[in-house]
Each structure stands twice: as C-alpha cells, then as structure tokens.
Amino acid sequence: MSIYNYLAKKSNGDIVSMQTYKGQTMLIVNTANKCDFTYQFEDLQRIYEKYNNKGFTVLGFPSNQFANQNPEDGAETARACRTSYGVQFPMYDVIDVNGETTHPLYNYLKHEVEPRPVDTSNIQEVILTNKVKEIYPDYLIGNNIRWNFTKFLVDAQGQVIKRFEPCDSILEIENAIEELIAANQ
C-alpha cells in the first residue's frame, strides 16, 4: 500500500485520489478552525506559497474529534479558513482521525510513522498532554493522533517520512520540507 491508494472528499464534495499529488512533497495536517493552534494556518499557508512552485503542497483535513473545535461541515470550514487565515491550499471534508471511524488515509498515515515521545521540556506540550490525559486518555495510546494540527510529511514517491506533533516548531518542519524538496530535485 501507499498513500496513492486512498481517496478523500474535498470540502466542495469532490472525491479526489491521492494519486493527484503523485510526484509532490506533501504536508498532511488534521486541522480545526476553533483550536488554540489555528495560528498555524498562517504558517502553513506561508510554507505552501513559498514551496508550491517546487512541487510541494499542504493538505488540510479538518476533524471535530478534539473538544468540538470544528463543528462545521467541510465547506463552512474551508470558507472560514480562507476568510480568517488566507488559506489557499486544498482543504478536505471533516473526518475522524482516531477510533473505529478513522478515515482510511489517516489510518494509513498513523501506522507508517510512530509519534515521538512527549517533549517534557516544552511547557506548551506538557499542558496539552495533561489536557489530553484528562479528556481523551486513549489518544495517548499507540499511534493515535494526540490533537489538532498533527502533521505528516510525505515525499514525492508517496512515502510517509515524518510525523510532527502540534507543538513542534514550524522552523523544524520547514527545514524538513526544504531537505525533502532538495533531495527530490
């Protein structure tokens, strides 16, 4: 199996094969438009604009599984992201990223790259982990998505290279993207 074996519904209702992105480096992100991490939309858009002409894209997959932080449907979510954060990268319909109804693409992504251990030196991550322990303790088990704005870096051959947690530095993520794009040229 590869990422190219999966389909996903865009926010406008179109069904898209991940084959559409064959040959591109991708950053796949589970998002929410009412999350404390929504500021990351601006960083994601900036990175998308900076590298899009070099065979890179960001794919946003809203999820409402974390404290009801994305209760709108995919179309309303995409509209809100465009209006509030200038998002122009592809936005997909609202999906589940954990549990029995996990979208097949996310089931694949989660099992290709394990999450890193919690960074106890990062106070923001410690606070988030304590919140997750309190309300969604199962999300800290195995390869589950811990919270909104978990990111998966996929190379131009469709291989999942790295998983970034919500509190990871955007500079670290951008450096990994630059290295992967350079390796593909």
User: Could you give the residue numbers annotated as active site?
Assistant: 35
| In contact, 58 and 91? CB cutoff 8 Å | no
Q: For residue 100, how many other CB atoms are within 10 A of its CB? A: 5
Helices 74-85 and 40-51: crossing angle in degrees, nearest 10, is 80
At a CB cut-off of 8 Å and minimum separation 6, what does 31 contact?
38, 41, 60, 61, 62, 63, 70, 77, 81, 91, 148, 149
CA distance 19 to 3: 8
